Amino acid sequence: MASNAEVERIFVEIGDLLDLLGEQRFKVEAYRRAARTLESLGEPLERIAARGELERIPGIGDALEAKIREYLSTGRLEYLEKLRQQVPPGIRELMRLPGVGPKTARRFWVEIGVEGPLELAQAVEAGRLRGVAGFGERKIEQLRQGLAALGAGVDGGSRRPLLDAWEIAEELRERLRASAPVDELVVAGSLRRSRETVGDLDLLAISREPAKVFASFLALPGLIEVRSKGDTKSTILLAPGIQVDLRVLEPESFGAALQYFTGSKDHNVHLRTLAREKGLKVNEYGVFREEERVAGRTEEEVYAALGLAPIPPEIRENHGEVEAAAAGQVPTLFERSSLRTDLHLHLPLQGEDAALAPWAERALGLGYSELGVVVENDDEAAERIRRLRPTAPTTAGAKTTLRVRFGVEQEGASPLPPPEGAEYILLRPSVGGTPPKTEAPAESLPRFLGHLEAEDPAAVAGRVGWVEWALRDRLPVEVGPRPERTGLDSGSLRSLAARGVRFLPSARSERSRELARIAVSVGLLRRGAVSATQVLLGLPEGTPKKRRART
DNA sequence: GCCGTTTTCGGCCCGACTGTTTTCAGTCG
């Protein structure tokens, strides 16, 4: 079965090939725009095609619709195959080199006669680029380094899972805040939109001393390469192979820059087109009428200047949100600040986090009033809960209280009843299996459908039964920060929400500092346009306090 | 190639940085 990702890749390839062949840029852009749209579609193309609604996808017209249909029905695309015959396969690879776009790649091919990275490397070493117009010493050195990095697989060109990117970004922010005079430092880009994968990091800072900020930035540990440096913007490559952009701005422009660098690109193009129609101009410094800046300090200002209600970052994909904002009908998304609990954390056996105190402190910092420790439902469960219970803090500080709850985790129906002290059950779906029967006696504990993480994408994809399970038994579904391992990406969340499923966000922590990862889980829920009414904020009240002890 | 309550033709977002240039093209986001 053809997946959206396959069609997406095909359109990207067509875009590249047309670009290399010197086709007009708007045609090239049309294929790339369509590819981006497909990436964030959230619904299988085959379903849309079956409804006859392909042309309703923004950026898909007659020609692209016909190509999608051809591929869906035959698994091939004649147009692509013809294009491939015109360009050697290695030429596309050349475009992955930093500083090499379609024009330069084409010159390598036509003028130098190389057909891929290996041949280019040989040509560089043989000095065949010397004296060629447009290739000075620095350009050649840049190529040499780029080729070496390409061979070593550290080109920073690949996307990584949202959570990994988030953790890198958090660490960067901490370091920069400690070492540079910044008044504000935020992450924009696809990370702020909570995209499931993130290519590079976009940092924005407000500072009165940009030079000092850039100096700190260029001295970050783990820096592999400085890709550009200027007065307002610098780009580096960090050791994990991730590219990081930093822009330093004045407060007057911060909202406009945040809006602009959060994207998505297609969302921004839409806004700018709208602005032109209103006689305005939008750039990263503000919204302008003639020379006068009419907005820019905050994002809300920018949207308001265009006659739009504020649009949450997570849904800025040009999938109709701009039209909705113009009509004042932006969906109200779940807010992290309303969350009062995290019911899925595991205490390690040793170390500082084996005790509840550090967890409680972090939880209070996040504004929680409740925290749920989960143990495996086995013969030791009651004993583990009993050991922790006396240390459970009930208050911290003068007013805030934190209630620590205990739950058990099990796969489907357990032969063991819940142990003494357990207040809820986290059910794990089994891999590839059908959902077990889960009779629900009236007095039973609240139950949630936890997620099972799998490294293997096939195992994730093969786990089909649990959706039916959640629907059949009306079980709230846990949403964690690793969609690539659970299969619960924003598209799935959106369709589950539409079918009435409720959600329980968790950080799935095994260390107390990981509680902060709830930001990622909530981001995914928001990207799935999940509203506050569909999220469980804490354990339902009325939980039976006394359980019959097992014997 | 897409798109349209000013258009079915003629537009298509906007700016920073780089390298190699004497005023700019290419790349990138």
The domain ranges of chain A are: 4-86, 89-151, 160-249, 252-326, 336-534
Q: Quickly state the pLDDT bin for A551 (edges 50, 70, 90).
A: very low
Q: Cβ of A354 < 7 Å from strand B? A: no
Stated in angstroms, how far is A189 CA from B18 C1'?
A: 23
Give the pLDDT of residue A367. Answer: 92
CATH class entry, domain A160-249: alpha beta
Instruction: Give the mean model confidence (pLDDT) for residues A489-517.
Output: 91
Report, as an integer, the average pLDDT of A191-216: 91
- Spatial contact of A369 and A340, defined as CB atoms under 8 Å apart: yes
Is the minimum distance from the CB of A307 to strand B below 7 Å?
A: no
Residue A114 neighbours by CB distance under 10 Å: 23
Phi and psi torsions of A510, nearest 5°: -125, 0
Determine the pLDDT at residue A55: 86
Q: CB of residue A105 closer than 7 A to nucleic acid strand B?
A: yes
pLDDT at site A439: 54
Nucleic acid strand B within 7 Å of A439 CB:
no
A551 three-state secondary structure: coil
Here the tokens at position A123 are: 């040509």
Q: What is the pTM of this model?
A: 0.86
Least confident of A50-64, A223-237, A346-360, A414-428: A414-428
CA of A148 to C1' of B19 (A): 20
Residue nearest to nucleotide B28 (CA to C1'): A99
d(CA A19, CA A17): 5
Instruction: Strand B: list positions under 7 Å from protein Cβ.
Output: 1-3, 6, 11-21, 25-29
CATH topology for A4-86 is DNA polymerase; domain 1 (1.10.150)
Assigned architecture for domain A252-326: 2-Layer Sandwich (3.30)
Tens-place pLDDT, residues A440-480: 554 578 888 777 676 666 666 555 566 777 777 788 989 99
Model confidence band, residue A549 (pLDDT cutoffs 50, 70, 90): very low
Tokens of A500: 């009435």
Read off the pLDDT band of A166 (50, 70, 90): very high
Q: Does the pLDDT at position A153 exceed 80? A: no
Percent of chain A with pLDDT over 90: 32
Per-residue pLDDT tens digits for A346-358 = 999 888 998 888 9
pLDDT in the model for residue A25: 86
3-state secondary structure A245-286: EEEEECHHHHHHHHHHHHCCHHHHHHHHHHHHHCCCEEECCE
Q: Name the DSSP class of A109.
A: I
Give the pLDDT score at A66: 92
Judge if A89-151 and A252-326 fold alike in CATH terms: no
Residue-wise pLDDT tens digits, A384-426: 888 887 666 655 554 568 888 898 888 766 667 888 888 888 8
Tell me yes or no: is domain A89-151 CATH 1.10.760.10. Answer: no
Assign domain A336-534 to its CATH superfamily: Metal-dependent hydrolases (3.20.20.140)
- For residue A543, the model assigns a pLDDT of 46
- Select, from the ranges A205-209, A392-396, A516-520, the one with the highest average predicted confidence (pLDDT): A516-520
For B12, nearest residue by CA–C1' is A26
The A233-238 sheet, strands edge to edge: A184-187, A201-206, A242-249, A233-238, A223-229
